[in-house]
Structures are given as structure tokens and as C-alpha cells.
Structure 1
Amino acid sequence: MLHGPATSVADQVRFPTSQSSHRRSPVNARPVAVVIEDEADIRELISLILTQAGYEVHCAATGNEGVAAVRTYQPSVITADVGLPDIDGLEVTWQIRQFSNAFIVLLTARSEAIDMLRGQESGADDYLTKPFRPQELLDRIAVAKHRKP
């Protein structure tokens, strides 16, 4: 839990620093993830979890920004909130599926079976209900490492 108004997740956790400013070769590159989440605290937390798990993370606060980020960074893993301010996460997932086979985990406060079914129908690989434990997210995306492209 965060404490105090000026405290953020990033203030409480040290991020690894790069030893070199040079771009890494594709052989040594970290896997890429895109986090699509409109709530800044949750976006920062997911980014931190994935960064600490070894991912190069790019974030977007809206569905349209998220689709653009996926086109730009071509991630292997995507997390997307269902309740985004412009287009919902189901539409984002459907749009991404038109050009990417990345592993997509939808994140939402909705826990009804019909919501999970709609997530799968949109093309999501998994569905995680908020709040969630960091390890729960990591366990879900670990499946992506074993998938064939």
C-alpha cells in the first residue's frame, strides 16, 4: 500500500539501470510489453511488475494510444483495462488482433462469467479481475513465453 500523498510506486521500488546507452541486439533484447490502463497508479504498478520481471515496458492511457503503441513496439505481451475512456478494452483487443498475435491479458473489475466470455470472444488470451496479486499477473503471462508465434 502506498503511504502519503507524495509517494508513488516508483518512489518505493528501485528500477534496474542500464549499463549502456547503446541499443541491445535482438538476441539480447528484453521481451516487450505494452500496458494499456487509464488509471495512473495501476498503470505504474503493472509497469513496475513487468519491468522487474525483465520486460521492456511501454504504457498507454487510452485505447487508441494503446493500439498505436502495439503497432510501434510489437510486444509479446499486452495488458489492457476493459474500462478505458475512449474505446473499451474489448474493442482494443479486437483491433490489436487484426495485426498482432501478442499474448493479451484483459484486466477489469468486472467478474461475471459473461464478461470473461466477451473478453475471450474479442481475442484476449486471459482475463484477470482487479484487484490482483503481482504474482497472479506474472503467472498468467508466463504462459506467453511457452507459446509458439
Structure 2
Amino acid sequence: DWTVGEEVVLVSPGYLRNLADPALGLDSLPTRMSEYRNLPNTEQGDYGGVHINMSIPSRACYLIAEGLTAEGLGTSIGREKTEEIFFRALTTYLQASSSFLDARVATLQAAEDLYGEGSTEVSAVEAAWDAVEVTEADVGVPDDQTPTPTEPVSRA
């Protein structure tokens, strides 16, 4: 289930957010970068839209786990592998100030670390970020950019 807030929303559609298809939630949220909402960095602007635009990487996560296959966009890799990739990216490469592009680069590197260069898992991560329009070509990042590991977070 990729919906959030079922217990707090009593009107249609019966949930607050749908991470598989963010446009279907109580408030339609962006599904790709061309729908990104550039809001002011104020409380009224949701501090730049952090709770609004989060739907873009959330959809990428869904696509990696299940949606590429379900939507005919490629081959998804399942929730367990997706969790492992995102956990490694979050605890090894990403920081509080990281951008969506940083998340793309970090999850690609994490997939490569865990499953090898050219693996099905790396292909799924790349296809998902492409589908939500978070691409290196769009922002001029060199193809050889590799994130620098940060201090790993303990699982304890």
C-alpha cells in the first residue's frame, strides 16, 4: 500500500497522499520535476515546498520497487532491494541539504555499491529517476559525478 493518512482523512479519496500516484491524493501533488512547485522558503510556503515536492522522490521510490513493471516503464526490483538502496544512500551519501539530483546520484551509487555496475537494480534506479524527470542532463551534472561518502549512520 502506497497511501498515507487513511486514518485521518474521512472524505474521498480516503487518504492524504498516494505515493504511487501523487496526483490522486487529497491535494494533487507533483509527480515529476515539470510539476515542481517553487514556493517561498517561509512557513506559509512550506519552506520551499518540502512537504509538497517530496512526492517526486517518493514516486521514484515507488517506481523502483513496483511501478516500473506495473506501468510498463521497465523492471522494478521489489521493496526489499529498494529499501536497501535508499538506506545506503541516506546513511552513506546524503545530507540534510541534499537536492533531488543528489538523491538520484546517491541512489545510483548505492545500487552500484550493493549490486554492481550495470545491474538490473542500477537500471531500475536510473529509469525511475528519469521517469520523474530528475536527470543529470537537465541540470548539467557531469556523468562521472560520484557522491562522497559521509559518516555512516549506525543501525543501533
TM-score, length basis structure 2: 0.29
Q: Which structure has the larger Rg over C-alpha atoms?
A: 2
More helix by share: 2
More strand by share: 1
TM-score, length basis structure 1: 0.30
